[in-house]
Structure 1
């Protein structure tokens, strides 16, 4: 009899257990019905998100200068440079003769006189600035200012502080010194031309206006007869229509090349708003751009013209912003994420999205940094559901189990059976 009673007791217990489980599963709003099994989760992290354009480019000179020659009014004599020559501003390029030599000389002398007059005016103006600056320092109350100086400074001296006025004076003097240096260079160039005319009364020498390398010489005298390229290098490439919507002048670039050990840095200097080729329905439009390379000191290795580079254009970058992987964001009606709370719930939180790039989504408004977020659930999640996670056996220790009371052991065992 005892054996039959044991079998009967086990059968009754099994039926009760199964009945209770079925009831809990089928019961509306029961814990079992609303429990989510969570295997993957992440945290809202403070991160840097960078949106970029990945494209290719080629190393080319920043500028190209063309030299023209009028064969109708002048007779060409000879070239004074060869293709590949490195030249500086003022270098002689070619000689020619003209019947208008005297008129040319007079024009050059007039231009030189005008430049020297401007230099004299600038020196006088700088003298007035220095005088007023000195008076401000020694005796501000007795300082008087010339009307022309006050007008050019563009500041009300009756209300402006002496420090502000001194700062404006320093800036104005620096600006005028730059203009003076530019005019002095112009006078030197004019002197060189006049000396050439005087030394060779029958020939005129054309000089270069900038440093560079002679790229091409047209010995048939078809214009341009000489092309000069600058020694400074840039990166040229083209954007697609989609990339054009994101690209802007001034954006930071990074480039890498097999010819250079160091990464190149710089900014977008120019973007053509018209396609490189005539627009057509049969092909995609490409828009040329030029990126200026930042110099990195005298030890920078020379760049080979024509080198191919991989170019990264940084279109947007946000540092230290809350973000989650894009897989954690859901889009039923409104963008939202599921937050795992410390009390064991899965709560839906609507978010305001920010920058999205590199597999990360910025959260402008929503959960905070450190909050735990559910990653791609395998089943549909109801708001405010309970959640359970897999047992991490490597973290289960006998010492921890021994700390539970008998009541707690039974409670957690039954809870695990019912939840599962």
Structure 2
């Protein structure tokens, strides 16, 4: 694609990056077939190719975002299926991130939208605030039908029972069982700590059982993904993680930074790009990104222990977009589940997003609901006993549309290799000791 950016425009690193991405696009249209919003809506402007044209025009002419541009960029899930499909290697992720930042700088949204986005930015990355909001939601249950659509969507996704905070999430060191073969830092995250603290607990048990010393670093917290994808500046959140893990690396050494929420993993693996122009943190950010691993990558490298039970469970594995498209981690979770003794069912249209996409299901509830229903129908077609996924957002989204238990992949791997049976999962009659 030809571009007409001026030398002055190209002096800006983000614009220079976007110009290179735009030039890589050859208009082939392969991306349209795998774009969830295009599949649903059939509008060219709701496809990656259409959005690329809108972004090019906006950035090249250095004009404020229009209502039309905002509408179609807001509808993008950032699922990155287009990047998996693209034969030209177009980095749509960095392009749409730049477009969202430009929108936030140049477009004034309606006050309700501004208030909603500001609330999400201020609450979700802060576990204490998020927990308080969920508790307040329970008290305000009778008022939910009177709320605006987006607030109703948010309230409907809140758990009926809020689990207690886990002590294992506190900064500390968890010793490896037996001979230590690796030392890793676990990213404990933000929203996941509130909604499903058992995921971090299962991750720590699984890692220590496989010879990993696990450290929860003081000062590390939210990865910044939720804020970043709202077009807001997430550098402060990312910087805190980079500094915390860099200190751990320099003082005691780290073999990996383990992440069990794939949306976070995609962002942490991109810290090197985010801080590429920062003279103080560029090198550290690249190092942290290089150390970042999804939990299934780490266990896959070590090798799963022989299962201690035969579960007899049929598992529908939902491949989160941020894992299969954002990180290109596709085979590892399936292989590990099969090695743990589960019967793994392939979900039809597995490349399509479930509609969660960070805060997307809260900001675009109608489209997100259609994608959830489509995903659930495809999952239920496989007749599973349980659904597995590697991202808390996907788990929460899918669970609102089905009665089948939805668990994190690591909870099932932990159970199969000696951990407790995950809550809410009915024991199969075939379950027996190996």
Structure-2-length-normalised TM-score:
0.18
Q: Determine which structure has the larger strand proportion and give its number.
A: 1
Bigger relative contact order, structure 1 or 2 (CA pairs below 8 A, ≥6 apart): 1
Structure-1-length-normalised TM-score:
0.18
